[in-house]
Amino acid sequence: MYKKMESEDGYFQRVAVSNWELYKASHDRKDMEAYTDFLAGLAAGDKACLGKNQKPDILIVREKQLSKAQYLELFASLWEKSRKIPDGKTRIIAHTYPAAARQTGCNWLHLPCCLFQKYHEQGALSHLQVGVSVHSLEEAKMAQELGASYVTAGHIFATGCKKGMKPRGKEFLEAVCAAVDIQVYAIGGIHEGNLPQIKKSRAAGACMMSAYIC
> How much of the chain exceeds pLDDT 90, in percent?
86
* pLDDT number for residue 83: 86
- Mean pLDDT over 144-156 rounds to 97
Architecture (CATH level 2) of domain 13-213? Alpha-Beta Barrel (3.20)
Identify the residue with better confidence: 30 or 190: 190
Task: Check pLDDT > 70 for residue 8.
Answer: no
> How much of the chain exceeds pLDDT 70, in percent?
93
Cα separation, 67 vs 44, whole angstroms = 26
Cα separation, 192 vs 207, whole angstroms = 11
Domain residue ranges of the chain, discontinuous segments joined by +: 13-213
Full-model pTM: 0.94
The CB density around residue 168, as the number of other CB atoms within 10 Å, is 19
